[in-house]
Amino acid sequence: MRILAYATGFGGVAVRVTCEGSFSLDAGVPVKEEDVVLSHAHLDHSRYAPGKRVYATLPTLALSRVLLNDAKSLDPSLPWEVQDLQRSLAQATFKPYGSPFTLKGATITFYNASHILGSSMIKVECGSKELLYTGDLGTSSFLLDHWNNNVPKVENLIIEGSYMCEDRPSAKKEWAKFYSYLKQSLREGPILVATNAVGKAQEVLKFLMNHSDSLPLKNVVLEGMAVDATKVYDDMLEYLSRSEIMSWLNGSRKKLMDFVVVPKTLGERKSLAKPGTVVVAPSGSLSGGMSVWWALKGIRYVTMGHLFEPASKLLQGERVEVVDPLGNKGFIDKPDLHLKISRHASRQELFNFISKSKAKRVFLFHGDEECLRSVAEEYGFEVLEEGREVEL
């Protein structure tokens, strides 16, 4: 088995695997192979999958439809058409966790990666060689089971390193900070939570649902692409946590979409801009979408996790000009609160995963290059850099 790293940075990832034939793990950048095995739906892993033969879990396909249709509408120059996406989805092979299938002489199995709904670690077996590719590895969740008790043992491991050199505060403390903020501020006016449409938005909704009885919460408004993504979460019950499944079995489960208001007009939105309302809206970095429209109304807002421009500049204290979907321009100031909440595994979790995998050869990718090189040197790992080809 051979691997070739097409790209392994934050902009997009893809790794070619050759057994009897070649296929690509993810397609966040253009790939030559016609067969693409997707770890999950986020665009840095799926952007160039349309037009290919795609293999993934069912939620990954459903969320990819949402994300890729939106990507094409925002960037018509992407080298595929909506018809290519439709064809790939119609012909896709979808497999549940733990159900092996064959491709180009390799046996492939998906395992729960706990990052977003349907996200997968991908185990590849070619003859006597084994490889585990984590995709994006997740962390604790209100909606998804953790991977901790289901780490495959392999000889070769390719593991993401987004937080390999950064210790985050505990998620429990960050959510507690969010609760305290809402408890105090919701009585004074509406609160915007600017967040990613797929993954974080659903976690925020579940948190608000869990604490709705103890917060001065009257309405939860859901906006944009997060609406379609949340519908997928509601529909794909078997990929949610065991606690969600058990609540369904005993008749107590409440769907996320039953908890929210989806406004259709600007008038509805303005009528909801009052104390007790929390608005959950993409984009999380305020680069576009309805989060910008709400922020320009001057309401208090919260951000979370790793931010790109313009929100990253706001955290540095800069005042930034933004444009909402209607073309309105204006300046916004830094958020009231920034929470270090992520859907990526923490540094401790990443090292725990490596230990549990028993891998003899560990390749790091999808992280800060200087960090990954430092960790690789200290622990005897390797960095899977763009263009590197390895015989396993």
Element (H, E) at 208: helix 200-210
Determine the Cα–Cα distance for residues 177 and 326; give it in Å rounded to an integer: 33
Peptide bond into 212 cis (omega under 30): no
Cβ neighbours of 381 (radius 10 Å): 21
Joined tokens for residue 76 = 């018509």
Half-sphere exposure of 342 (CA within 13 A, CB side): 20
**Cβ–Cβ under 8 Å, residues 25 and 122:** yes
pLDDT given at position 148: 95
Domains of the chain, by residue range, sit at 2-166+343-391, 171-339
Cβ neighbours of 279 (radius 10 Å): 27
The string of pLDDT tens digits covering residues 189-213 is: 999 999 999 999 999 999 999 999 9
Domain spanning 2-166+343-391: CATH 3.30.70.1150 = no
Q: What type of residue sits at position 204?
A: V
Joined tokens for residue 17 = 């695997």
**Cβ–Cβ under 8 Å, residues 35 and 101:** no
**Would you tell me which CATH number, out of the four given (3.30.9.100, 3.50.50.60, 3.40.50.10890, 3.40.920.10), belongs to the domain 171-339?**
3.40.50.10890
The string of pLDDT tens digits covering residues 270-318 is: 999 999 999 999 999 999 999 999 999 999 999 999 999 999 999 998 9
Query: Consecutive sets of 10 residues in the chain, 392 residues long: mean pLDDT of each?
Result: 95 97 98 98 98 98 97 96 97 98 98 98 97 98 96 97 93 97 97 98 98 97 97 97 96 96 96 97 95 96 94 93 94 96 97 97 95 96 96 96
pLDDT given at position 380: 97
pLDDT given at position 112: 98
**Hey, is 238 helix, strand or coil?**
helix
